[in-house]
Structure 1
């Protein structure tokens, strides 16, 4: 029971920290709108998206982008806690390090999912057609996508000693994962040698899964069950790596 209470306490702490950060909440609204309006309107007439409206095509990609950036960046809380001494207090508490990792992971993942849901709401406001079934299927996918991405952020934070080094590595990880995920354009017409860069990117399968369930009539080149399988395998791998590094590093 003490482990569960510890996980719950850390989960609530991470969530409160996110909610109290007004600037991040505001940016979570403004940034996706800019992407959807500027890219959706500007590139919609030049990109072929299998007959679908480009903004409709883009929305799942922007949701994935939001999950990616939020999940990985919020891993910085590990470094903050270490620098301000809170991590030492947690480590002497009657709770295992795996539970500490789990509490932080669930807290950061919840914050990212909230931002993803905000993007869905904004998408409907600007006119992207979505059904309740599509949203209901998208949210579980967002959860499994976010777990793996959150662990990446926590892994990076476990290995870094300063905020500056964390920010540098996160930028190096975030941008390639986003641009090589198919979030902004379909992969069907790309050269084969470039496609391999997309295939080894776990976010590619998250974007594809979201697009499959959110766009009625969308025919993906990857089966949905395969997307989910790859995401789950990735989640298990980074959870194991993350808990090991966190336990050894702290």
Structure 2
């Protein structure tokens, strides 16, 4: 079983090198850097901005990178092309902001910044002191980096594809080579064969966990563990069993290695996006949040985030483990209905 895994370059690439590549790329690019300011073009004189005190102008510059232009048409064209987020100009007491709705997040950011800016200017113009003040702070430690959110998602994704591809490709290959039929007739119990596959998959998943966490903790990436991080081990085992069940299903219904590989990707890749392994699940439409509740990867990723970076205790891993084990049992029962010993 172990020889079959590390001799299969496709399985090793998808389960180890592929997630590790994402950790290194996303972690290096996103970790430690301050968010870039939104680019805005100022056309002509905008007294509301030009006459700001130095301190206020500096604070505005942290959110907006403002450049000047003489032509409104050229500036609007830059917005259409996505080169800048918005064009701002002032006519008397009216501040005009033109933006593109193609990027709704950036558009909302620009509108929010200028809305707050104009409201503050109106209050200042009245000469009355503000009744309310705003105090903001982040809930995480200031040293928290993007890798804290990237690593658990990539670990979960790596475990998922390692178990799915490992089980599916082994089953399909053995069926094509008539090895399953020989194992059935050989003096080796089916339980021994299945147990070997499960043990190998769990060991590979635990190696993935150690490797991915170790790489993520390198100084230039900066992962910091907090909470009951040791609960990542039972979470990994439960997740492996859940995705082994999916691999068993894929290996049972697919007739060729190519078909099995395509079906495995068709299941795991969309699941990674919907479950929050690549992007936060709640950043998508509402239906994604609903669907994620039925996917094992969402429980694995959320559980890993809770115990690795959110500082949660062992209890945070209980529900994800129970759900993934239940999922494993249910899918295994379904997969056995499609299982075949040979291609005939």
Instruction: Output the TM-score relative to the length of structure 1.
Output: 0.79
Deviations 1:60-101 (CA, angstroms, capped at 9, x unpaired) = 111001111111111201111122222221010234445533
Asked if 1:16 is matched to 2:3, the reply is yes
Aligned pair partner of 1:114 in 188, 207, 222 = 207
Over 4 Å off, 4+ runs = 20-30, 49-52
Match of 1:31 among 4, 18, 23: 18
Bigger helix fraction: 1
Match 2:223 to one of 119, 128, 132: 128
Shifted more, 26-35 versus 145-154: the winner is 26-35
Work out the CA distance in 1 between the residues paired with 2:337 and 2:181: 18
Where structure 1 has 5 or more consecutive residues not aligned to the other structure, the ranges are 1-13
Alignment correspondent of 2:279: 185
Q: 2:147 aligns with which of 44, 55, 61?
A: 55
Q: Which runs of 5+ in 2 are unaligned?
A: 37-104, 106-137
Q: The residue matched to 2:275 in structure 1 has which SS?
A: coil
Aligned to 2:165: 73
Instruction: Give the superposed CA RMSD.
Output: 3.1
Larger radius of gyration: 2
1:4 alignment partner in structure 2: none
Q: Contact 1:56–1:128 (CA<8 Å) still a contact in 2?
A: yes
Alignment of 1:78-157 (within 5 A): 78-125=171-218, 126-130=221-225, 134=229, 136-157=230-251
Cα gap change, 1:111 to 1:97, in 2 (>3 Å): same
Per-residue Cα deviation, 1:82-121 (whole angstroms, up to 9, x for no partner): 2222222101023444553343233233323322322122
Corresponding pairs, count: 232
Note closer, same or farther for the CA distance 1:184–1:93 as it changes in structure 2 (3 Å cut).
same
Compute the TM-score of the two structures, normalised by the length of structure 2. 0.59
The offset of 1:137, in angstroms, is 1.4
